[in-house]
Structure 1
Amino acid sequence: MTPADVTGRRSTGLVAAGILVSRLTGLVRERALAHYLGAGGAADAFTVAFRIPNLLQHLLGEGVLSASFIPVYSRLLAQGRHRDAGRVASAVLGLLLLAAGGLTLLGVLLAEPLTVLVAAGLRARPEVFDLTVDLVRIMFFAVGLLVVSAWCLGVLNSHGRFFLSYVAPALFNAVQVVTLVVAAHYLLTGVDGGGPLGVALQEDLVRWLGIGTVVGGAVQLAVQLPAVVRLTRGLRPVPRVRVPGVPDVLRAFGPVVAAKGVVQISTYLQVLLASFLAAGALATLRYAQVLYMLPISLFGMAVAAAALPRLSAEGSTDTDDAVARERTLRRVDAGLGRVAALVVPTATGYLVVGDLVTATLFQTGAFGRLEVLAVWLVLAGFTVGLVATTSGRLLQAALFATGDTRVPAVTATVRVVVSLALGAVLMLQLDRLVLDADGLRVVGDLPAFTPLPADERDDVAGLVRLGAVGIALASGVAAWVELVLLRRAVGRRLGRVRLGGGQLGRIVLAAVAAAVVLVPLRPLLLRLPPELEGVVAIVLFALVYLPVARLLGVREVMEVLAGLARRLRRRV
């Protein structure tokens, strides 16, 4: 293994560790939401309201900055031009502050039309719609804080400080959890001896949570700023365009917004579609996406985020250089292997025992077994595209590192069009399918060409409507369409890449072996307390998958097990 490979693995590990801490606290937040709000109107309102300002965070920060700012900033650092790098960082920060400030003001003033634009279907539920508008106004104040935090992430990553930038969101989540618990305790004081929250109290609770979201954004930024100020040497956030390097960032910004932003916009269009479904569909999608995004963040994003600064700094943009192409291909292959070794078993586990995992995380308070089943079915739809989505993140990073921002934009657009067109068709049909104590039945006429009548959307007591499954399944299919297009583009620019780094067959075989062992044990696992179902299922799956993968010669698993064995020997 080369020193570069060792560095790449260490960087990926630091990113994954930071994201893991952040995601775990995010799961705690979602469990608290499930406990107090279940999958009702208040949960639907918070889901929509949180998405709207979050769009600007993603468009102006995070993925966009990673692909437009990091390559330029990293290249200047690699060339020893630290002063120029600092000037670029200052100018980009100034431009971001100007844009985020103006958009935040517009968001607060235009909260109602924005809510109509993103979730028009909620107008059929006036109380939920009004609550959503209130929450949008509150949470738009977090936009600027989160965008600057994303800029901090870009600076820290370029300097090899991966852990801090990715663990900082854990504080954001922690503040939200504390807000939920404290506000719920205050609201429940003297109410039916501390019983469950009623509709009015749930609405008050999510308003408090909106305020906690703003405070959490401030805390997330505050923990990163001291390190960033030290690294950038004389930070002066003045919005200037005529600074060497800034025009390069701005030129890449537009296409990258198209590539990254179109995927984010797709999420909001999914919210728009789901707003026309039965009550609880928005919240169910939210809970399922938490589980779906966990492996994407831990594995796909971690590998891509760790690889991008090094690929950019080492000049892999020279695709006429055979040595550079070969070096890039080796890293992409290795990254795809790392992704597949972890994502394939995760996807298999979600399909086989996703309900057990969902129960362990969310079954509490207002979130019962029926909600668990609904989330599992939606998660299964998303899981269809899990391997494609995580692998696609790395292929996008490879194209960005070579200076190609057009192809990722085109492929992302194709993915969105396929996802939304197919999702609109499937959701209308599946919302007529009802799962209840009597099994699966059809309620209404098929094929369907219009949403359910408004009065039927709220009539969901004791049953699960499957409309949200259609949106999730369409998203999974579209992810594979995008991956095929990305592979072709990388193949033309760099050379042929192999899914799973050439190990996909062995990885799939090991995952299937674990599933075959686990399926007969499901009845026994269902007898356990909900808090233990998923934990025991995951442990059993790993106890089969890991040794089988090792026997089949899956490199990543062999290296992980060898590392664990070395640590154990040292301690003994």
Structure 2
Amino acid sequence: MSLLSKFATVGGATLVSRIFGFGREMMMASALGVGPVADAFNLAFRFPNLFRRLFAEGAFNAAFIPLFSRSLEEEGEEGARRFANEIFSTLFTALVVLTVLALVFMPVLVKTIIAPGLAVCVDDPSAGGDVISCAARYDITVTFSRIMFPYLACMSLMAMVCGILNAFRRFFVAAAAPTLLNFILIGVLSWCLWTEADKPTIGFLMSWGVMIAGLAQLAMVVVAMRMAGFGVALKRPRWTKGLKRLLVLAGPAALIGGITQINLFVGQAIASFKPGAVSILQYADRPYQLPLGMIGVAIGVVLLPELARALKAGHLREAQHTQNRSLEFALFLTLPAAVALFIIPEPIIRVIYERGAFDPSVTPVVASVLGLYALGLPAFVMIKVFSPGYFAREDTKTPMKATLASAGANIVLSLILFWLIAERGIALATTLAGWLNAGLLFAGLYRKGQWQIDRELLKRTALVLVCSLLMGGVLIVEMIEFRDWLQPSSALTTQILAIGILVASAMAIYFALALATGAADRRLFLAVLKRKRPPPPPAAS
């Protein structure tokens, strides 16, 4: 299977999950709108979800896969199973202890980490809309957090199983499992809307839906692992050389691989000081996560095993070629997506969310946040491309320094900009921190001679940027032409038709320009049409 085919497999499964996630978010916006219950659910869910992203897309993909692959190659399947049992037993024990402690001390966690703004909240008697006291907001956030926290344990164990599947080059099930969460929450929301449940009840049932989804996802990947002929057993935890090496790699890798989620988590914690701000950030995050998840996650999952194999086999030229083509692929898709999301965020947000409990006055604010997030989209995908260059070489110290610098900058910028421009400040801080992190990661690889930019990458990057900007110019003209169709007063079907025309024409123009200018690899395009693999790169002279 070619590198592009693997990207397509993982990206396709992730795309399906994100589309259903879109549907889930649309239904949630209609049911809860921007209010205290929506804030409480998003705050409570962000904490275990942060760890899901850190483990699934960071620590285990970055640390477990190279070590497991080495055990598999050097000691055979029996050695790999022994290593997996060591890790599983320790991880399971640690997660049980962590979950019990978190459930007991959840009120403290909410006040200090999850939603510090609730600790200084002051009731406003003149406030309109959903008026829930600060004490009630705090109580429901604690309740939702307690219900959902075990999801963290399920996802951490699932991450290890997914690492095993990825090491065996079985990418699809691991990428498709998150769809179960969206299926279950859509089912919960459908039932709630049908029975006209009140908002606190909807939040309560959705929290239990998250917990059930975690168990279902874990079961799904365990069955896939068993079908692959591999299994793990729970034994007495022991301190071993393999466990020590994993912890040395996984700690920094979790920070590096999950920097996007860390930035979003920090942003939401700061946003808890303003009622409604958490929900605004969450609703803006969903459209932006669609291309980020489809492209970034696919690259992060596939690139690391491929690089690790090439480097361990001493195929340095193959590793360099893989890195360059991965960055080329990432920029080819993310640059036009970023331009489009920056230019037309308001019509998109209006069509997706503006119904039910979602007030039309919130649309411009959510749209402006989405536009700022969009500017950071290429950076966050590039982080997914650059990080495996370190992880495959078992180097976590260098990227950890870059990540800590980025996280520090994000906290400082968020604190400053939030008081100046509220939610927009947090989005801008997240974007600037992402570009800083991507720049530092690339500089480290380039300085060490571990990334050699080839002429083809430079040429195509410049052409992709030009094609994306030209496409953006056409979108602006079309926005003016279709302005009457895109007005809030227009029928929903008319707005959807207008956006469909904008998106379809933008894609057609971009891909036509890309093929005409050479921004897209014509050989690869023709190979895909003919269902053949692309020709290999020319031999080194």
Q: Structure 1-normalised TM-score?
A: 0.84
Partner of 2:347: 356
Q: Do the aligned residues in 2 keep the contact of 1:19 with 1:297 (CA within 8 Å)?
A: yes
Q: How big is the shift at 1:55? A: 3.1
Task: Say whether residues 1:236 and 2:233 are aligned partners.
Answer: yes
Residue 167 of structure 2 aligns with which residue?
Answer: 158
Q: 1:543 to 1:370 in 2, by over 3 A?
A: farther
* SS of corresponding position for 1:129: helix
Q: Hey, what does 2:285 align to over in structure 1?
A: 289
Matched AA of 1:511 = S
> 1:395 and 2:383 equivalent?
no
SS at match of 2:358: coil
SS of residue in 1 equivalent to 2:311: coil
Letter in 2 for 1:295: P
- Where 1:470 maps in the other structure, the secondary structure is helix
Match of 2:500 in 1: 535
User: Is 1:24 aligned to 2:19, yes or no?
Assistant: yes
Q: Distance in 2 between matches of 1:333 and 1:140?
A: 39
Shift in alpha-carbon separation, 1:361–1:302, aligned structure 2, 3 A: same
SS in 2 for 1:65: helix
Helix, strand or coil: the match of 1:364?
coil
- Secondary structure of the residue aligned to 1:245 is helix
**Partner Cα distance (1:343, 1:263) in 2:** 16
Over 3 Å counting, the alpha-carbon distance change for 1:414 and 1:498 in structure 2 is farther
Secondary structure class of the residue paired with 2:149 = helix
Aligned to 1:208: 205
Could you say which residue in structure 1 is the equivalent of 2:441?
486
Determine the C-alpha separation between the residues in 2 that align with 1:184 and 1:45. 19
Task: Judge conservation of contact 1:337–1:499 (CA < 8 Å) in 2.
Answer: no
Partner of 2:451: 495
2:514 alignment counterpart: 549
Aligned to 1:81, the other structure's residue is in SS state: helix
User: Distance between the aligned counterparts of 1:128 and 1:533, measured in 2?
Assistant: 39
Q: CA deviation at 1:127?
A: 2.4
**How far does the alpha carbon of each residue in 1:352-376 deviate from its partner, in whole angstroms, 9 at most, with x for none?**
1122222332222222433322111
CA 332–204 in structure 1, closer or farther in 2 if over 3 Å, else same: same
Q: Is contact 2:88-2:232 (8 Å) kept?
A: no
Partner of 2:129: none
CA 127–563 in structure 1, closer or farther in 2 if over 3 Å, else same: farther
Q: 1:500 to 1:26 in 2, by over 3 A?
A: farther
Instruction: Please report the RMSD computed on the Cα atoms of aligned residues, expressed in angstroms.
Output: 2.2
Equivalent residue number for residue 92 of structure 2: 97
Residue 309 and residue 276 in structure 1: after superposition, are their counterparts in 2 closer, same or farther (change >3 A)?
A: same
Is 2:223 the counterpart of 1:226? yes
User: In 1, distance between residues paired with 2:455 and 2:105?
Assistant: 45
Out of 310, 335, 345, the residue aligned to residue 344 of structure 1 is 335
Equivalent AA in structure 1 for residue 234 of structure 2: P
Counterpart-to-counterpart distance in 1, 2:227 and 2:77: 12
Change beyond 3 A, Cα 1:78–1:401 = same
Matched, 1:506 2:455: no
Matched, 1:149 2:158: yes
Q: What pairs up with 1:291-440 in 2 under 5 angstroms?
A: 291-316=287-312, 323-324=315-316, 326-430=317-421
What displacement does 1:60 show?
4.5
| Partner AA of 2:177 in structure 1 | A
Partner residue in 1 for 2:30: 35
1:83 aligns with 2:40: no
C-alpha distance in 1 between matches for 2:55 and 2:379 = 25
Deviation at 1:93, TM superposition (A): 1.5
Q: Distance in 2 between matches of 1:349 and 1:499?
A: 27
State the match for 2:10 in structure 1. 15
Distance 1:63 1:136 in 2: 23
Report the Cα distance in structure 2 between the residues aligned to 1:470 and 1:549, rounded to whole angstroms. 34
Change (3 A) 1:491 1:429: same
Residue by residue, what CA displacement relative to the aligned partner does 1:109-161 show, whole Å, maximum 9, x if unpaired? Answer: 11111111121112313322221111011111222212112112111111111
- Match for residue 253 of structure 1 among 250, 254, 258: 250
In 2, the alpha carbon distance for the partners of 1:425 and 1:27 equals 31
Paired residue type of 1:328: A
Q: CA deviation at 1:239?
A: 4.9
Which amino acid is the alignment partner of residue 233 of structure 1? Answer: F
Overall identity of the aligned pairs, in %: 26
* 2:71 is aligned with 1:115: no
Q: How high is the TM-score relative to the length of structure 2?
A: 0.88
2:141 match: 132
CA distances 1:59-87 after superposition (whole Å, capped 9, x unpaired): 45441111110111122334461111111
Matched, 1:475 2:430: yes
SS in structure 2 at match of 1:365: coil
- The residue type paired with residue 276 of structure 1 is F
Paired letter, 1:249: L
Match of 1:276 in 2: 273
How far residue 37 of structure 1 moved from its aligned partner, in angstroms, is 0.8
Measure, in 1, the Cα distance between the counterparts of 2:7 and 2:407. Answer: 28
Give me the whole-angstrom Cα distance separating, in 2, the residues matched to 1:44 and 1:500. 47
Q: Distance in 1 between matches of 2:438 and 2:57?
A: 21
Moved more, 542-551 or 268-277: 268-277
In structure 2, list runs of 5 or more residues that go unmatched: 122-133, 532-541
> What does residue 536 of structure 2 align with?
none
CA distance in 2, matches of 1:126, 1:46: 15
Match of 2:44 in 1: 49
- Please tell me whether the aligned partners of residues 341 and 500 of structure 1 are also in contact (alpha carbons under 8 angstroms): no
Residue in 1 that maps onto 2:539: none
Q: Is the 8 A contact 2:66 2:392 kept in 1?
A: yes
Q: C-alpha separation between the residues in 2 aligned to 1:288 and 1:216?
A: 24
Structure 2 CA distance for aligned equivalents of residues 490 and 509 of structure 1 = 26
State the shift of 1:297 in Å.
1.5
Q: Tell whether the 8 Å contact from 2:335 to 2:468 is kept in structure 1 after alignment.
A: yes
